[in-house]
Amino acid sequence: MSRPLAPELFASLDPLSLAGSRCPACATVQFPPAPQCAHCAADGPAPIALPTSGRIWTWTVQRFAPKAPYVSPASGFVPYPVGYVDLGEVLVETLLQVGDRSPAIGDEVHLRRAPVGTGEHFTYAFGA
């Protein structure tokens, strides 16, 4: 059974949702949740679950294997699309899973799991 690589990224595993936090002073939403607001430095942002659907805000394809600490899949490196997804109150950087298509700005995408390295762990991705 695959486990989350970084459990703190998730508000819930079933159904899957990402964890964020909202600043009590300026309402900035950030991901992952943080003990201090990155905008105004106020203490105690409240944990929230982020929306699980959004639209691609920008994207690219990573076409060479990054150096460590990146871990390639057991079967070897394959280029992977990444981007930022607009979830309304926050844009989240993410792996994109769009099959054989090219990602496009404005495309609707939904949260899902993505295997990391040998598949013992998973992280988050957004896909069509």
Q: Does 42 bind Zn ion (CB under 5 A)?
A: yes
Query: Nearer to another protein by C-beta: 15 or 64?
Result: 64
Contact between 111 and 31 (Cβ < 8 Å): no
Out of 48, 84, 111, 126, the residue judged to bind another protein by CB under 8 A: 84
- Cis previous bond, 103, omega within 30: no
Residues 7-66 that bind another protein (CB under 8 A): 8-9, 20, 28, 30-32, 38-40, 57-64, 66
Phi first, then psi, for residue 121 (nearest 5°) are -120, 160
Q: Which range binds Zn ion by CB under 5 A, 3-11, 42-50, 58-66, 67-75?
A: 42-50
Q: Phi-psi category of 119—alpha, beta or left, where left has phi over 0 and alpha has psi -120 to 50?
A: left
Contact between 103 and 94 (Cβ < 8 Å): no
* Residues binding Zn ion (CB under 5 A): 23, 25-26, 28, 37, 39-40, 42
Q: Which residues bind another protein (CB under 8 A)?
A: 5-6, 8-9, 20, 28, 30-32, 38-40, 57-64, 66-71, 80, 82-84, 86, 88-95, 105, 114, 116-117, 123
